[in-house]
Structure 1
Amino acid sequence: MSEIPDFTRNVSLRLSKVLDEIGVNERMVKKRRRLEIMYEALLTIGQKLSTHQDVNIYILGSKVEGTTTVGLNSDIDVLLTLTRFNVIQDWSEWELGKINLLMIQDDTVSPGYCLLQTLRQDAPFPEEKVYDQRWYRDRKGRVLLKNSIVNPTTDAERVRHGPEQSIDEKPGFYGNDIVLGFSCQQWPLQARQWMNQQSEGQWPTYDMKQYCKDTGCFVVGVGRKGSVNEELEWRISTSLAERFLMLSLNITQIRCYVLMKMIMKTFITTQCPDSISSFMCKTVLLHCIKSTINNAWKENTLLICLNYCLTILYNCVVNEYCPHFIIPENNLMARRFTPVTKQIILDRLSCIISSNGSALLEIECDQLGFRIQNTFLRLVEIVPEYLSCMISGQLVKDTAHTVNECVMVLLTKMNKSNPIRLLLKTLYKYLMKVTHHMNQVQQKLAYRAIAKCLSMHSGSALASINLQSERSVCRGSFDLMTLGLNIDVASGKLKLASIFYCTGDIERAEIILKNIEENYDLSVVEPICKCYDFQHCKRKWAFHKLCYEANDEYALLQSITAFCVRFLRCEINCCPKELQHEMFRSSQQDLPYRSYRDEWMDLAVVDSLPYLYFLQYKTYSHLRRNRDKQAAISNLAKCIVEEPNFGHKETALNLLGQCMEQENRMDAALKCYLLSLKIRGRNNAAKFHICRLVSSMLRQGLH
C-alpha cells in the first residue's frame, strides 16, 4: 500500500470527506461512545429499579462502537445478565448462594459453544434431579440446562431450580434486540490459544489481549443450527472483548467497516437476506487489521483498505470459512449458504471489487452515492456538520429521556407508601455508587444524575413534613435540595421556588424564578418528558448545534434540557393547591383505563416552562405587581400553544384555567378545561375543575 495511485488517493480522500459529513468522524464516534456507555449504566439502573433484581446490562454492537449512521439504522444490541447465575469452568469457582452452572466444552460440542451442567446450591456437587422439561439428563447422567430457558416467547412464567429456588424467566422487559445471558468470569478454554498468537502488525498488543481476557465471557441461549445438541448448546460470547477491540480502531478502520455494512445492505441482503451479517464483516475487518501494519490504514488509502477487506470476505465465501476472531475453531459461515446464494454473493462481490470504487455511487444509504458525486460535480451546497449536529442532539435527548425515565420508575414505586426513609436510603446507595465508579467516568455520571434527582425529592419530602406541622423548613431539607438543583436548567430550581412560595417567602421565590427565566433560552432549551410515549416534533436547531459542539454532554443536561417537575404525594405541602389536584386525577371510573405505565398519574407532574410562568403568576399576584402578573399569564398561554414537545399540556391547561378563574374570566377558564379534556379524555383533573366551575357559575346565577 506504499505506492498509492493518484486516482485511488483522490477517491479515498473524497470518500473520507463524505463519511465525515454523515457523522462518521472522530468527534462523533467519541460522542456516540460516551453517551452509549452512560446509557448502558442508566439502563442497568432502570432495570434494577423496575425488577428489584441484581442485573447487569451491556450495550453491544454498532451504536456503542460508533460504527453506524442514520441510514444504516442499526438496532441497539443489549445483553442482560442476571448476576445470581454463576457460570464456572472449574469446580473451585463454585459459590454458595448462587445458581452455579458448569461449562462443558468437549468433543460433543460445536466449537464456540458449550453445555451447562447444573450443580447443587448447597455444595459443589452435580445436581441429580431433573425438575421439569427445561432440564435434560444425558447419557453420562449429567443434568444439563436447555437453552430454551431464556426464550422470551415461552409460555411458562417461571422455572424451578430445585424445590426452593425460582428463577424469574422475564427479568423486566424484553425486546427484539435484548438477549438474556449468563456471565462467566474466566476466559473460555477455546479462546486461550488466541492469547499466544502473533500478528503481523502487532495488533492487538499483549496488553490489549490481557484486558480482553480479564473481561471474561458470556453464554447465551443459542445452539448451532443443525447440531445434534442444538437445544442443549449455549453460544460462548466474547462480546466485551470484541467491543474493546472495536473501540481501539482508528477512524479509517471504522469508516471501512461502515462502508462494508452499506455495501451489504445495498447489494447483498436485499436479495440474500440472513447471508452475510454485520458480525461477519466485523470479523473480516479485525482479521485484516491483524494481518497488516497500522500505518496502512489512512484516509488516503480508504479505497485500498475497503477492497482488501472485500477481497478477504470474498475468499471466506468461496471457502465457506470465516473463523471467529477470538475462537477460530468457530466457523461463522458453516452451513450458511445455499449454492445459489453463494454464487449470487460471489458475483456481486467480484463486481464491487473490480469496479474500483464506482459501485459505491449506487449506494442510497445516507445518500452516499449522491454525496460522492457531489464532491466532484458540486450539484448542491451541503451544510457542513448538519447530520452530525442532528445526531448529537438525538443522543443527548435520548440520554436525558433515560435519566428521566429511571427516576420516574423509582418515584412511582415510592409513591405507594411514605417514602422519605426509602428515598434517603436509596440516595445513600447511589452516592456510594458514584464513589465506587470513580475511575469509570460515564458510569459515575449516570449514578450522579440519579442521585441528584433523588436528593431533590428527598429534600422536598422532608420539607413537606416540616410544613405539615409548622411553617418553617429545616436546614437539612435545603441542603438535600441544593445537591439536586442543577440536574437540568429548571426543574430542581422550580421545586425550590415552589417550597419558598408555600412557606410564604414570596420574595425569595420571585428571585429564583427570575433566575430560571434568565437561563431558560427559549430558542435552545428542550423540554424532556418520558412519563409516557408520545410523538416528539422536530427539535430546535440551536439545541442540536450546541450538542455537537460540546465535549461534556452531562453539562448540557444542566443548561439546555428542562425535565418535567414532579411531586410525590408525600411532597404535597410543597406544591400550590392548584397543582395538588393532579395527584388525584383518576376517578374510580378512570382507573380501568390506565396501564401499568400510567403510575405517574398518581403524582403531580407538569412541564418546567408552564410551571415557571404559573409560579410567576402566583408570586406576582401576592406582590401586587399587576403588569408582571398579566405578562406571566400571557406567557403561560403562549407557551402552551407554541411548544410542541410538552408532555403534560393537559396539566398546563388546568393550571391556566385556574389562573383564569382567579382573574374572574370564567368562560376562558372553562375553555381551558375543555381543551385539556380534548388532549386527555380520561384520568384528567379537568373533570373535577369543570364540575366545580359549573357549580360555582350556577350558584352565582341563582344569586
Structure 2
Amino acid sequence: MSSKEDENFSLWINSTLDTFGFRPEIISFRSYWYDKLAENMNLKLEELSPFRFSLVGSAGEGVRLGKSDTDILSVFKNTVCSDNPRINVHLNILKTDYSGTAPGYTKIVLINKSSSDIRHPFHFDTMYKSTEGHPYIPCALEYFAGKSEINGPAFSSAFPYESYLFSGTDLVFSFYFTGKEHLSEWAKRSRFYAWPQHTVLNEISKMEGYIVPVGDKQSDLKCLEWRICYTTAEKKLVQHLNDAQKKLYILLKMVCKTILQPICKAITSYIVKNVVFWVAERMPELQCSVNCLMNLLQKALYFIKYCLENNHLPNYMIPGRNLLRGGVSGREKRQAIDLLSQLMKEGGAIVVRIPKLYQCMFHMVHSPERGSRYGIWRDEVEKQTMKFLVLCQKEYSRRWVPMPILSFLQVLKNMNYMKALKYFMLVVPEFPNMIVQGKFVELQYLFLARVEATMLL
C-alpha cells in the first residue's frame, strides 16, 4: 500500500471501530459504569466479605471485545504487604523477601496476624522459613482450593447466573502491596517523548500495587513466589492513551485473539497491553493519530516479532520481568515469527483474517448511512443497559452476586415502569404490539438478541 492508501484504510478502520462500539466517549462511559457496578457490589458486601472488588482488564478499561471473560480483582481488605512493614494490630502484615526470586516476584512471610475475627486465608510452609524464622506463605491459597478452575493467578468462577454482558468471570485474589521502589524507578526512567505526561507519572508513582498468587514458571521455588503487579496503574495508563492508541490496543487484541493465539497461546491480552504501552512511549505524538493506525499496527507487530526472536518482552511497569520467560516453546515461537512476518507484508489485507471486523467494514462501505444510524442506536442502547444494570444492582438483596441476572421479569420488578418502558421501546420498538398479543417469551428473546447485536466486535 502507498502512504495515501494506508491513511485511507486507517481512517476506514477507525470509522468502523467508532461505529461498532469504540468511540472514545463510549469507551470512557463503559469504564465509568463498570466502576459503578464494582462500587455498588463493594457497598453491598461491606460487612459480609473480607474482599474489595474492582473490575480490571479489558472490561474495566472499556475495551472488552464481544463476550470475553470479565476480570475481577479481589483484594483482602485486612491484609497489607510491604518491603518495610509496620505492625498494625488490626491488619495482617506481610513482608516481602526477594532473595532468589526473578524480577517482579517475591516470597512473603506473615509478620503480624490481625486481632480481628476475620478469617485469614493463609496456610504456612514449615519446610521453608525466612532468615527471621517466619514461615513462608505459599502462593496456592488453601482458602479457595478446589472451588474453581485455576488459570495463572485467576480462578475461573462459576457464578449462578448467565448474562449477555458477562460470558465468564475470572477472579484474581490478591493483597495490597505498598512497596514504592518499582514505581519510583518506572517514573524516573528516561523517555524520548511525552507519554505518559509528567502529571500522570506523578499520580501513578503514588498508587498501590498488588501481589497475586502465581510464581515464576522457571523457578525451583515457584510454589513460594508471588507476582507483583500494578493493575490499577495500568488501568490509569489505558485511560491516558489517545484515541489512536486505544484503537491500536483494540485492533491488536483482535489480531492476537483471532490470528496469533491459535498457534501461540503465550501472546495474551496482557502482552498486547504491554506492547501498546511500549509503542505509545516510544513514538512521537504526531505519529499516533487515527490516520496512522495501520502504521501503528505494523510497529506493534514488528515489536512482538522482535521480542519473540530475542525471547524477551519486558513488562512495562517492571521492565526486569520478562513476559515471555518460560512461556513460548521452540515450535510455537518459529510459527509465530513466520506468521508475523507474513502479516507485516499483507498490510491492510490483514483484516480479511478477522471475520468480525471484515464484516463490519463491509457494512460500512455498502451501507454507510445505515451503519451510522446503527452506531447511534447501539451506543444509546449500551448506555441505557449499563445504567439499568446499576439500577437493578441497587435493588438487590445483600447476596454474594456481583452482577444482576438480566431477564424480562426482573426489568419490570427492579425498574420504574416508565423507565423500563422507555428502555424497552429503544431496544424493541415492537414492544407495545407484542405485549397486546401476549408474546412475552418472543419479546424476551427478541430483546436479548437486539442487545447482543450491540456487541458485533
Alignment match, 1:60: 56
Given that residues 87 and 112 in structure 2 are in contact (C-alpha distance below 8 angstroms), is that contact kept between their aligned partners in structure 1?
A: no
SS of 2:323's partner is: coil
Q: Does 1:370 align with 2:366?
A: no
CA distance in structure 1 between the partners assigned to 2:142 and 2:373 by the alignment: 43
Equivalent position to 2:76, from 72, 82, 96: 82
Post-superposition offset of 1:152? 3.0
Deviation track 1:586-614 (CA, whole Å, cap 9, x = no partner) reads xxxxxxxxxxxxxxxxxxxxxxx9xxxxx
Alignment match, 1:256: 248
CA distance in structure 1 between the partners assigned to 2:114 and 2:332 by the alignment: 52
Alignment match, 2:212: 220
CA distance in structure 1 between the partners assigned to 2:261 and 2:83 by the alignment: 38
CA gap 1:24/1:397 in 2 versus in 1, 3 angstroms: closer
Q: Can you give the 5+ residue segments of structure 1 that lack an aligned partner in the other structure?
A: 124-130, 157-168, 414-486, 491-518, 528-537, 544-608, 610-634, 648-703
Deviation track 1:218-265 (CA, whole Å, cap 9, x = no partner) reads 011111113112111111110011000000111111111111111112
CA distance in structure 2 between the partners assigned to 1:207 and 1:520 by the alignment: 41
CA distance in structure 2 between the partners assigned to 1:268 and 1:276 by the alignment: 7
CA distance in structure 2 between the partners assigned to 1:539 and 1:136 by the alignment: 61
Q: Does 1:400 align with 2:388?
A: yes
One-letter code aligned to 2:5 = F
Given that residues 361 and 373 in structure 1 are in contact (C-alpha distance below 8 angstroms), is that contact kept between their aligned partners in structure 2?
A: no
What is the TM-score when the length of structure 1 is the normalising length? 0.53
CA distance in structure 2 between the partners assigned to 1:285 and 1:251 by the alignment: 13
Post-superposition offset of 1:155? 6.9
Post-superposition offset of 1:5? 2.0
Post-superposition offset of 1:286? 0.5
Given that residues 70 and 169 in structure 2 are in contact (C-alpha distance below 8 angstroms), is that contact kept between their aligned partners in structure 1?
A: no
Q: Does 1:99 align with 2:92?
A: yes
One-letter code aligned to 1:102 = K
Alignment match, 2:165: none
Q: Which has the higher helix share?
A: 1
CA gap 1:392/1:330 in 2 versus in 1, 3 angstroms: farther
Q: Can you give the 5+ residue segments of structure 2 that lack an aligned partner in the other structure?
A: 116-121, 149-154, 161-167, 401-413, 445-457
CA gap 1:391/1:223 in 2 versus in 1, 3 angstroms: farther
Post-superposition offset of 1:66? 2.0
| Pairing of 1:303-322 with structure 2 (within 5 A) | 303-322=294-313
Given that residues 91 and 114 in structure 2 are in contact (C-alpha distance below 8 angstroms), is that contact kept between their aligned partners in structure 1?
A: no
One-letter code aligned to 1:84 = N
SS of 1:83's partner is: strand
Post-superposition offset of 1:10? 1.2
Deviation track 1:555-602 (CA, whole Å, cap 9, x = no partner) reads xxxxxxxxxxxxxxxxxxxxxxxxxxxxxxxxxxxxxxxxxxxxxxxx
Alignment match, 1:276: 267
Q: What is the total number of aligned residue pairs between the two structures?
A: 410
Deviation track 1:295-354 (CA, whole Å, cap 9, x = no partner) reads 221121111111111111110111111100010000001121111101111111111111
Alignment match, 2:428: 540
SS of 1:67's partner is: coil
Post-superposition offset of 1:148? 1.0
Given that residues 45 and 406 in structure 1 are in contact (C-alpha distance below 8 angstroms), is that contact kept between their aligned partners in structure 2?
A: no
Given that residues 274 and 316 in structure 2 are in contact (C-alpha distance below 8 angstroms), is that contact kept between their aligned partners in structure 1?
A: yes
CA gap 1:311/1:59 in 2 versus in 1, 3 angstroms: same
CA distance in structure 2 between the partners assigned to 1:172 and 1:47 by the alignment: 19
Range with bigger deviation, 53-62 or 74-83: 53-62
Alignment match, 1:302: 293
CA gap 1:215/1:346 in 2 versus in 1, 3 angstroms: same
Alignment match, 1:389: 377
Equivalent position to 1:285, from 272, 276, 289: 276
CA distance in structure 1 between the partners assigned to 2:242 and 2:342 by the alignment: 28
Equivalent position to 1:241, from 233, 236, 240: 233
Alignment match, 1:265: 257
CA distance in structure 1 between the partners assigned to 2:188 and 2:420 by the alignment: 57
Q: Which has the higher strand share?
A: 2
Equivalent position to 2:438, from 641, 644, 649: 641
CA distance in structure 1 between the partners assigned to 2:134 and 2:359 by the alignment: 60
CA RMSD of aligned residues (A): 3.5
Post-superposition offset of 1:122? 7.7
SS of 1:96's partner is: coil
SS of 1:68's partner is: coil
CA distance in structure 2 between the partners assigned to 1:135 and 1:56 by the alignment: 30
| Pairing of 1:199-214 with structure 2 (within 5 A) | 199-214=191-206
Given that residues 186 and 214 in structure 1 are in contact (C-alpha distance below 8 angstroms), is that contact kept between their aligned partners in structure 2?
A: no
One-letter code aligned to 2:416 = V
CA distance in structure 2 between the partners assigned to 1:292 and 1:137 by the alignment: 46
One-letter code aligned to 1:238 = Y
Given that residues 111 and 134 in structure 2 are in contact (C-alpha distance below 8 angstroms), is that contact kept between their aligned partners in structure 1?
A: no
Larger Cα Rg: Structure 1 or Structure 2?
Answer: 1
Given that residues 196 and 240 in structure 2 are in contact (C-alpha distance below 8 angstroms), is that contact kept between their aligned partners in structure 1?
A: no
CA gap 1:85/1:520 in 2 versus in 1, 3 angstroms: closer
CA distance in structure 2 between the partners assigned to 1:404 and 1:373 by the alignment: 37
Post-superposition offset of 1:646? 9.8
Deviation track 1:590-646 (CA, whole Å, cap 9, x = no partner) reads xxxxxxxxxxxxxxxxxxx9xxxxxxxxxxxxxxxxxxxxxxxxx9x9669344499
Alignment match, 1:420: none
| Pairing of 1:319-468 with structure 2 (within 5 A) | 319-365=310-356, 368-373=357-362, 378=366, 382-386=370-374, 389-390=377-378, 392-394=380-382, 396-410=384-398
Post-superposition offset of 1:403? 3.9
Identity %: 19
Post-superposition offset of 1:190? 3.5
Range with bigger deviation, 274-283 or 38-47: 38-47
Given that residues 89 and 112 in structure 2 are in contact (C-alpha distance below 8 angstroms), is that contact kept between their aligned partners in structure 1?
A: no
Alignment match, 1:180: 173
